[in-house]
């Protein structure tokens, strides 16, 4: 764990870990953030599932496909621009640890201005590029028309969605995960109710689902901004355009953006390579990736706790507190990952059967189940350490590790071509191992130099 005085693997280190694990106040602080954030994360698949049910009950036969295409096009830029949440969380947590209330609010001010700029640009670009993007996916005429109609409305939700990312990061950095949970679930409830009313009640179909999503985005952003305004420090700091104050935000966002692009490229390649192995392979791999996505939704709650609590301890220059946070978070991450692996080992076939009854797809998915059993502990390391390096505002490590892992993945994909789909899963597992292993090595180097509480790398472009 960071900033411990003992070398990893020594008896003293083990005793220190057990002592940290028994620290009740830190256990409660970790749980107070991790549990609400896990519930927040789980709201995403719930709304996706509800949207699919509503689309599946519309009169147009292509409704479900149109919503799937449109949601994919919309979520890709939103997911890549998730750096707005992560950078805001890390910088806010450190300012919170220093007791700098004005600094915390200035972090939010910068994030919101950046969100407004990027949101406006993406809205214009999305409206212009929609026909081209949908054309690249080669849908049939009926499906393409419905998807274009969906996206004409859906892009208008980009500006408030990016605003919400900034507000959520600010709340997480302060440890106010309960407010984040309330915001997300309120937005999702509005989305579902509005979808029912507009798509089914008023007969607006696919357009109604898109309009409902936009309404929920603006509602969430409005409520979030109201909460932020009520929590503002007194006196409220004026917005600043000083380059020295903007530099940490710009550097963090740049490096996390590059990291996110590389990660998105790897996941997109799984589908692209899968299409060359056959439609059934793509479908089977999607079923297994749903399992890994569930792992991420749960374990990311602990990573969010690390972002907030580790960042606060770093801001306060509290080495012992940082070590306790990481010991407890690492312990729960390991427990959670092993529970998932056990569940997939014992119930993997049932997990596949719940998602499809098509025998050819089931056969391919079950043949690759051992990879899903193997992946949770490997992935858990990277999720946890992502949170630590965000808390420490050391984005260059996240960027470089991801680029190296992605390059290693590309090499493994080439070398394992003769193995077909098993080779693809081997390459992906290698990618996750390189990603987590690289972050772990970087963390150990910083530990040896006692550098976790030192100067970060967010000082130059």
How confident is the model over 306-337, as pLDDT tens digits?
999 999 999 999 999 999 999 999 999 999 99
- Dihedral angle over CA of 150, 156, 159, 163, nearest 10: -70
**CA–CA distance, 453 with 292 (Å, rounded to integer):** 33
The pLDDT score that the predictor gives to residue 96 is 93
The pLDDT score that the predictor gives to residue 56 is 67
Closest CA to 166 of 103, 85, 227, 228: 85
| Residues 6+ positions from 201 with CB-CB distance below 8 Å | none
When pLDDT is cut at 50, 70 and 90, the band that residue 5 belongs to is very low
Closest CA to 427 of 413, 444, 438: 413
Instruction: Answer with the residue of higher pLDDT: 203 or 405.
Output: 405
Instruction: Answer with the residue of higher pLDDT: 36 or 454.
Output: 36
The pLDDT score that the predictor gives to residue 124 is 94
Q: What is the CA radius of gyration of the chain?
A: 22
Q: How is the chain split into domains, by residue range? A: 1-32+242-461, 57-240
**CA–CA distance, 260 with 102 (Å, rounded to integer):** 30
- Digit-coded pLDDT (tens) for 238-295: 777 877 778 888 888 999 999 999 999 998 888 788 878 887 888 888 889 889 989 9
> pTM score > 0.85 for this model?
yes
**CA–CA distance, 337 with 329 (Å, rounded to integer):** 12
- Digit-coded pLDDT (tens) for 105-136: 999 999 999 999 999 999 999 999 888 888 77
- Digit-coded pLDDT (tens) for 382-401: 999 999 999 999 999 999 99
pLDDT above 70: residue 49: no
pLDDT above 70: residue 415: yes
Closest CA to 299 of 25, 90, 41: 41
Q: What percent of the chain has pLDDT over 70?
A: 92
| Residues 6+ positions from 109 with CB-CB distance below 8 Å | 237, 239, 240
For residue 57, give Cα distances in angstroms to 140, 158, 195, 201, 397.
20, 26, 12, 12, 47
**CA–CA distance, 181 with 179 (Å, rounded to integer):** 5
For residue 149, give Cα distances in angstroms to 44, 190, 191, 207.
23, 21, 18, 6
């Amino acid at each position: 764990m960071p900033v411990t005085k003992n070398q990893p693997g020594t008896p003293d280190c083990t005793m220190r870990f057990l002592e940290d694990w028994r620290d009740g106040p830190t256990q409660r602080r970790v749980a107070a953030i991790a549990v609400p954030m896990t519930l927040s994360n789980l709201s995403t698949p719930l709304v996706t599932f509800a949207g699919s049910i509503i689309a599946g009950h519309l009169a147009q036969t292509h409704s479900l496909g149109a919503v799937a295409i449109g949601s994919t096009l919309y979520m890709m830029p939103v997911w890549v621009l998730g750096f707005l949440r992560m950078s805001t969380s890390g910088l806010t947590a450190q300012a919170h640890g220093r007791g700098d209330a004005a600094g915390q609010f200035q972090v939010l001010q910068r994030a919101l201005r950046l969100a407004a700029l990027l949101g406006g640009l993406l809205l214009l670009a999305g409206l212009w590029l929609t026909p081209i993007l949908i054309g690249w996916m080669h849908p049939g005429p009926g499906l393409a028309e419905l998807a274009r109609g969906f996206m004409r409305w859906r892009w208008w939700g980009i500006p408030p969605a990016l605003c919400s990312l900034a507000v959520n990061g600010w709340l997480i950095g302060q440890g106010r995960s309960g407010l984040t949970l309330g915001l997300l679930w309120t937005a999702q409830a509005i989305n579902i109710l509005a979808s029912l009313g507009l798509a089914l009640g008023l007969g607006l179909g696919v357009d109604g689902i898109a309009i409902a999503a936009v309404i929920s985005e603006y509602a969430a952003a409005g409520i979030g901004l109201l909460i932020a305004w009520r929590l503002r420090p007194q006196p409220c700091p004026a917005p600043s355009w000083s380059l020295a104050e903007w530099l940490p935000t710009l550097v963090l966002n740049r490096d996390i953006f590059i990291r996110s692009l590389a990660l998105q490229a790897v996941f997109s390649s799984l589908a692209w390579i899968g299409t060359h192995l056959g439609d059934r392979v793509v479908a089977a791999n999607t079923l297994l990736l749903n399992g890994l996505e569930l792992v991420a939704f749960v374990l990311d709650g602990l990573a969010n706790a690390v972002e907030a609590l580790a960042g606060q301890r770093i801001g306060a220059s509290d080495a012992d507190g940082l070590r306790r946070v990481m010991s407890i978070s690492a312990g729960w991450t390991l427990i959670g990952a092993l529970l998932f692996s056990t569940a997939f080992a014992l119930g993997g076939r049932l997990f596949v059967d719940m998602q499809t009854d098509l025998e050819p797809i089931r056969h391919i998915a079950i043949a690759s189940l051992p990879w899903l059993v193997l992946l949770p502990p490997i992935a858990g390391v990277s999720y946890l350490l992502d949170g630590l390096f965000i808390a420490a505002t050391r984005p260059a490590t996240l960027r470089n590790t991801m680029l190296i892992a992605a390059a290693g993945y590309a090499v493994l994909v080439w070398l394992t071509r003769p193995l077909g789909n098993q080779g693809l899963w081997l390459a992906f597992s290698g990618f996750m191992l390189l990603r987590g292993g690289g972050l772990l090595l970087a963390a150990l180097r910083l530990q040896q130099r006692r550098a976790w509480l030192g100067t970060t790398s967010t000082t130059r472009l």
